[in-house]
Structure 1
Amino acid sequence: MSDDAVYAYQKDALTGHRPTWKMGAKGDGQPGASAHGAPDPDGMRDPFGFTAEMGGAFRADRPEPDGRIVRTTERRALELMGLEMSAEPAEIKARYKALVKLHHPDANGGDRSSEDRLRSVIQAYNSLKQAGFC
């Protein structure tokens, strides 16, 4: 064997003599094309042509949600403040101010019973503020 043949055999032995492709290439080096030559709109490799059998769409077409996404933390914060999921930033801020005035120890004559409620209202408002709700 020549030196080039030995080098080629050793290089091929690293992968167990199986075919390999370059990273980022779809088999033939053309990004966005499947191995059977058809353009792939989803940007994925489909050597057996399953997406073509399904009409070319691999993923189900899901409509984009209109409006903001309300996560569990924000939902709990809105419930704690007694607001609806569709509350506007001005409503959230007004409700926060009203609850702080209601539960603040100075407004209650030094009564510490509503101090925990005040802390939870402040924490809920801060989480809504951080999430971009107000």
Structure 2
Amino acid sequence: MATKQSRLHGRVEGAQARCAVPGCAQPGEFKAPLQPANFDGPGAWRFLCLDHVREHNAKYNFFDGMSCEEITRAQSPLAGWERPSRRFAANGADPPPRWSDFSDPLDAIATRFNGIHEAARPSRFSKSERRALSVLGLGEDADRHQLRKRYSGLVRRYHPDKNGGDRSHEGRLGEVIEAYQLLRKSAAFA
């Protein structure tokens, strides 16, 4: 069979078969479909010599059997676009962001896939430590210095001695202190 197809004029170099026309002794170097009138897709091929492939191509008429309206539709630049197409499956993923929320489309793409990278990377914090981080308003990328700075700021905000004797925030202050005590002993901040 054929090994390589020439880019210039359709000749299949290295074709080993003879021309498929009975009685022709020339090498079959050109591919031609078996049924040109009903050809749809890759189909079955036969190999012909140059003279017989020219004869085959001269007989071939794509529009054979079509009405004038069908020919006009086939020649239209929009031919084929009337077919319905399927939507891409979301496969359980989050819906994509609205493009109108972004001035740069690359920002929208990056935002869409940020969660995938975060989910793939194992967390260095336990569930209780992640809850403590959220109490302090910190992310998982926080370091010991950010932890200490955030804790100091929240204690100053909620402590009754620092906010004029207002004791309405004592519950929140207790949560902040408890979260800091848990996180300062965490192996992630060692």
**Higher Rg of the two aligned structures:** 2
Which structure is higher in RCO with an 8 Å CA cutoff and minimum separation 6? 1
TM-score by length of structure 2 reads 0.34
Q: TM-score, normalised by structure 1?
A: 0.48
